[in-house]
Amino acid sequence: MNPTSYVERRGKIEDYFDRTAVQAWARLTSDAPVGRIRATVRAGRDRMRATLLDWLPADLRGMRLLDAGCGTGALAVEAAHRGAQVLAIDLSPTLVDLARDRQPAELTSEFSAGRIDFRSGDMLDPALGEFDYVVGMDSLIHYRTPDAVRVVAGLAERTRCGLMFTYAPSNPALIAMRAVGRMFPRSDRAPWIEPVAEAALHRLLAADPALQDWSRGRTQRISSGFYTSQALELVRQ
């Protein structure tokens, strides 16, 4: 991983989601009415979240899970309802505050098996400790493929059972939108989504020394209007 490119992109993502896009993201991840385009994104994200949750054990009691890039906390809440001890982290302190506000009261009860520890910061911080499962839903889509793979490898070193993440599969429309964004930069534009060539991703995953004890598991593409994302599961052998 190129530390400079990772840190630079991380800074842009934090700035965008913590300042420029907070209101739009809060609305998108709520039940509030949205326009037709954002409705397709909401539906796609809901389907992707359901897919990743289906890949996790139904009973997570006694297990520790990292929600890497938790946003407003929807996946963390579902995992906690299954009994997991969830550490939910995001670069945006504002989104993390919103996630805390939306946390169901029953998960803060002393009788709840599952708990959520919401934090703002870097998902790669080794002080976060070790986990049974790590989920990164749409949290790596703004990073170059080599950087994203090194992030996955860094997370895998602290993961005991399974790791799942999503990426933006390369397609002509995504490549065209990225090119337009580069030609007409705007200060309030979202960090561009990096299109990922599946063969190159698999090659980098297979070659990374930290991932030699891991194998590819399930994969699923979700397409809904303006939302297209591919989920990939890695399983420790």
pLDDT tens for each residue of 169-183: 997 665 554 444 444
> What is the helix, strand, coil percentage profile of the chain, to 5?
45, 25, 30
Per-residue confidence (pLDDT) for residue 3, from 0 to 100 = 67
Tokens 């809901």 label which residue? 46
Q: What domain count does the chain have?
A: 1
Q: Compute, in degrees rounded to 10, the torsion defined by CA atoms 41, 47, 53, 54.
A: -160
HSE toward the beta carbon, residue 37, CA cutoff 13 A:
2
Does the structure show a pLDDT above 50 at 34?
yes
Distance CA 4, CA 91 (A): 17
37 CB burial (10 A radius; 0-12, 13-18, 19+): exposed
> Roughly what angle, to the nearest 10 degrees, separates helices 198-207 and 145-156?
40
Does the structure show a pLDDT above 50 at 186?
no
pLDDT tens for each residue of 86-117: 999 999 999 999 999 999 999 999 889 999 99
Question: Which structural domain, as residue segments, surrounds residue 172?
Answer: 3-236
Whether residue 18 contacts residue 94, with contact meaning beta carbons closer than 8 Å, is answered with yes
pLDDT tens for each residue of 122-140: 999 999 999 999 999 999 9
Q: List Cβ neighbours of 71 (8 Å cut-off, separation of 6 or more).
A: 25, 29, 90, 95, 99
- What CATH number is associated with residue 29? 3.40.50.150
Per-residue confidence (pLDDT) for residue 21, from 0 to 100 = 82
Sign, CA dihedral 19-176-220-166, equals negative
Report pTM: 0.90
